[in-house]
Amino acid sequence: MTGALTVYLSAEEAAKRLGVSRQTLYAYVSRGLLQAHPAADPRQSRYLADEVERLGVDRKRGRRPKEVAKSTLDWGAPVLESAITLIRRGRLYYRGQDAVRLAATATLEETAALFWACAVETAFPPEPPVALPGYDALLPHCAASSPAEALPALLLAASADEATASWRPTDGRFFENCGNLLRLLFAAALRGRPSAAPLHCQLATAWGLDEAGADLLRMALVLCADHELNASSFTARCIASTGASLRAAVVGGLCALSGHRHGSTTTRIEHFWAGLTERETVATQIERRLAAGEKVPGFGHPLYPSGDVRAKALLARLLPDFPVAAELLGAAEGLTGQAPSIDIALVVLRRHLGLPEGAAFTLFALGRAAGWIAQAMEQRATDHLIRPRAIYTGVQPDEPGGDVVADES
């Protein structure tokens, strides 16, 4: 079994296939509807044939409102303006800075301050926040719960809604309240007391890691910090658009992240990995499971045709010392033709460091919370309610006079 062949088109070929001029093709790129990839000649760009084909189909749908509405929210055209995160030409940027380069040295606190447009010291002062009394009362009941189940409940118990209920960034404590929200979420993840220690160091101390392990956690948190309008970030923005608190937006993001098509992909990867045995080669087992119709979770990402840059950065530090993971990833990539995503990179990190079950999801959630707060802030600043319309497909009502009006769309 071999991977799918990647076919590129020149600008002239792509424009011809779309039936547009090259100027219109370049306009599609500038609007984020199509990605231009580097070619051998630095003066030229090339375009993935599959992406050109999808754009062509989307353009044909353009005269049918029903098809446009159905496709826009499914890896479709941009639907909101944002100045936080950009994914372009296979690279990820936070506020215009290359996220992979940032993750080489930055902490999550520094990344959050970049997102929130404030000083690190303003959002994360030396004093830790104080959890509400209900937090201690709830802790024993969450001892056996998974992170996906426990985090929303514990964050609600630990924090006060009014702290982030109003949009007043000029308030001297507004950004501190946002930082406190993040620190309380870390405390909830560790089932412990809130701390003012560096966020990644809190995890490293609780999980018994050395300095090298702590640095890997730091890097992972920053790489997970935001990813444009993924399902959880869009959920956070929808909640914030109603005027709800930033705390409510983070809780909503946590709930959306728990789905198996989002953050809990890490759980599916753990189960897949646990099902592999030493009686046969990894490649043989994966090939048999693929032949049976099973998918290998954690591979391929529509926004990264050449591979998830977040996963590449993290795995470059992990795989040289983890040959078992290198064998698994190499076999899966060779058989599927798809590169690893950040989800499986987090699972590799968890296993490499011997972290507790569920730690991959925890890292994803804790890092992404900084982005949820930024997305919610940005949405609240627009003073715009996100309220799309639905295309009704049910039984048509009787109109006055008894006639049933057919759906003409």
Distance separating alpha carbons of residues 68 and 391, to the nearest angstrom = 11
SS3 at position 395: coil
Residue 2 reports pLDDT greater than 60: no
Q: What is the pTM of this model?
A: 0.82
The structural domain count of the chain equals 1
Distance (Å) of CA 175 to CA 102, 117, 121, 244, 249: 22, 9, 10, 17, 15
Position 348 in a domain: no
Q: How many CB atoms lie within 10 A of CB 178?
A: 29
Give residue 34's pLDDT: 85
Give residue 118's pLDDT: 95
pLDDT digits (tens, 9 = 90+) for 179-235: 999 999 999 999 999 999 999 999 999 999 999 999 999 999 999 999 999 999 999
Indicate the range of 17-26, 63-72, 97-106, 309-318 predicted with least confidence: 63-72
SS3 at position 107: coil
Give residue 5's pLDDT: 72
Sort residue 322 into left (φ over 0), alpha (ψ -120 to 50) or beta.
beta
Residue 1 reports pLDDT greater than 60: no
Give residue 409's pLDDT: 44
Position 131 in a domain: no
Position 295 in a domain: no
Position 371 in a domain: no
Position 215 in a domain: no
Q: Residue 20: which CATH number? A: 1.10.1660.10
Position 281 in a domain: no
Give residue 68's pLDDT: 55
Residues of the domain holding 61? 8-79
Please indicate whether residue 4 or residue 79 has the higher confidence score (pLDDT): 79
Position 67 in a domain: yes
Distance (Å) of CA 332 to CA 202, 285, 312: 34, 10, 15
Position 205 in a domain: no
Side chain identity, residue 204: A
- Interval 167-177 mean pLDDT: 77
pLDDT digits (tens, 9 = 90+) for 35-64: 888 877 766 788 999 889 888 877 765 545
Residue 169 reports pLDDT greater than 90: no
Please indicate whether residue 99 or residue 8 has the higher confidence score (pLDDT): 99
